[in-house]
Amino acid sequence: MITRRGFVGSAATLAGAGLVSGRVQAASIPEAVTTQSPDMQPPLFPSNGQDYQPVVTLNGWTLPWRKNGDWKEFHLVAEPVVREIAPGMKAHLWGYNGQSPGPTIEAVEGDKVRIFVTNKLPENTAIHWHGMLLPSGMDGVGGLTQPHIEPGKTFIYEFVLKKSGTFMYHPHSDEMVQMAMGMMGFFVIHPRDPKFMRVDRDFVFLLAGYDIDPGSYVPKVMTMLDFNIWTWNSRAFPGIDNFVVRKGDRVRIRFGNLTMTNHPIHMHGYDFSVTCTDGGWVPESARWPETSIDVAVGQMRAFEFVADVPGDWAIHCHKSHHTMNAMGHDVRTFIGVQKRDLVQSIRRLASPEYMPMGAAGMGEMGSMEMPLPDNTLPMMTGTGPFGPIEMGGMFSVVKVREGLAANDYKDPGWYKHPPGTVAYEVPSNAAPAPTRAAPAKQPGGVEMNVRKPSSHQGRH
């Protein structure tokens, strides 16, 4: 639930405020709107006569603003938050206005924005407006372009939104720790011309990785790559919202990468074009079709497609380790191992409950009931209409349906496939026994030829 004391809709105008000079006006700090919920809030339509299709933030919300003279005023509060990563796991993070990521900020090209930032963290912070064209002193790099914002203090950023597009905000003050703790938010600037790049549905999310030991709550902030929780908007599958889309809609999906590795985001069922980056809109002549788009560290990408084929279409990071939860990287590979004797020995010597895993692959973990520490997500989970989905992390579903109402984002359930359009099993008595071609004779039965470095090449 969003608390919005002091706000009326998204454009509460302060009477007579237009007469006041900038600095005096700014002395009145708007109430900070906060939420504790990880549920997707409906899009926030502008109530001041501006015309744009607002975005929806996966498992998130858009920050309401007030009009003060010709300025739009927003209030961000940097603070410790509790974020449900998925049902069954909560993380103690840092964020903005009650959640991580912070609320999405939406405004229009040409707007004058005044953003109040209050620091309720135990250390300094500052906010950088990633990708925006603004005066150097508003760029938010603590120590370089402004003093750090000390705990308990409020700073003001004021600038004019020079161009529309896809942006984000994040700290530039103890940046490594604060981003590892979940501090980030999306910033969308809609075009002044309501017809330019208009879409029917526009989704936004930020990629973040966390390293949270099973059974604990606080991310380990020194981890660089071996994260065990891979998230979109600080949510992991099956906690990530579906992308609910009406058949025929023009759809845009925007994302930014604040992890420390790249993510090839892949969507099934369609090809799409990248139409926007954090540098701006991509001219039509420079677009090409893709089904995966890699988003490097610190980059943002937005792609578009027309949703003309109904179905349940997977969308996920194509690094398969990033569609797992709570994964340890030092687990041994057992595929092909005959473990019966080994298991009996281990049970006799060490643990009567020892359970071997992975001799036939790891898929069995998708349906296994295993004891887990409190506050820990299974490595792979989620159940679809045909069984366990065996996924985690950066995975969701684009649900394209006929006949939805405009701006209806409710989960429509699983897709009902037309008869005869689902992959099916051949009766076993109809399948011929597999034949195997005779292997080519290897001299001496050797299967591999390994060339070793000769002695004069030196040692490594």
Residue 247 or 266 with smaller CB distance to Cu ion: 266
Q: Which of 75, 128, 263, 316 binds Cu ion (CB under 5 A)?
A: 263
- Tell me the per-residue interface mask from 53 to 82 with Cu ion, x by CB under 5 A, - otherwise: ------------------------------
Q: Which stretch binds Cu ion (CB under 5 A): 92-100, 284-292, 305-313, 322-330?
A: 322-330
Mark the segment that binds Cu ion (CB under 5 A) among 74-82, 99-107, 214-222, 315-323. 315-323
Helix (H, G, I), strand (E, B) or coil at 349: helix
Nearest to 197 by CA among 53, 300, 293, 308: 53
What are the two backbone dihedrals, phi and then psi, of residue 145, each rounded to the nearest 5 degrees? -115, -5
CA–CA–CA angle 278, 281, 282 (5° rounding)? 110
- Closer Cβ to Cu ion, 224 or 309, answer by number: 224
- Looking at the Cβ atoms of 183 and 208, the one nearer to Cu ion is 208
8 Å CB contact between 303 and 272: yes
Q: Which stretch binds Cu ion (CB under 5 A): 134-142, 281-289, 314-322, 364-372?
A: 314-322
In the list 322, 365, 378, 398, the residue contacting Cu ion (rule: CB under 5 A) is 322
Retrieve residue 447's tokens.
């299967």
- Of 34-42, 310-318, 334-342, 369-377, the window that binds Cu ion (rule: CB under 5 A) is 310-318
Q: Binding of Cu ion at residue 240 (CB under 5 A)?
A: no
Cα–Cα distance, 450 to 452 (Å, whole number): 6
**What 3-state class would DSSP assign to 264?**
strand
Enumerate residues 6+ apart whose C-beta is below 8 A from 208.
100, 101, 179, 182, 184, 231, 233, 234, 258, 259
- Which secondary-structure segment (H or E) carries 178? helix 175-180
117, 317, 389, 391: which one binds Cu ion (CB under 5 A):
317
Nearer of residues 146 and 231 to Cu ion, judged by Cβ: 231
Q: Are the C-beta atoms of 53 and 198 separated by less than 8 Å?
A: yes
Q: Which listed range, 8-16, 232-240, 320-328, 397-405, lies at the site for Cu ion (CB under 5 A)?
A: 320-328
Q: List all residues 6 or more positions away from 448 whose beta carbon is below 8 Å from its beta carbon.
A: none
In this structure, the dihedral spanned by the alpha carbons of residues 350, 353, 359 and 360, taken in order and rounded to 10 degrees, is 180
CA distance 158 to 135: 9
Give min distance, CB of 317 to Cu ion, in A. 3
Nearer to Cu ion, 98 or 393 (CB): 393
User: Could you tell me whether strands 250-257 and 300-306 are parallel, antiparallel, or unpaired per DSSP bridges?
Assistant: antiparallel
Interacting span for Cu ion (CB under 5 A) from 6-14, 95-103, 317-325, 336-344: 317-325
| Nearest to Cu ion of 91, 236 (CB atom) | 236
By the 8 A CB rule, do 167 and 20 touch?
A: no
The residue within the footprint of Cu ion, chosen from 319, 368, 372, 382 (CB under 5 A), is: 319
| Minimum gap (Å) between residue 293 Cβ and Cu ion | 12
**Identity of the residue, 34 or 323, whose beta carbon is nearer to Cu ion in the bound complex:** 323
CB of 215 to Cu ion, least distance (A): 24
**List of residues contacting Cu ion (CB under 5 A):** 263, 317, 319, 322
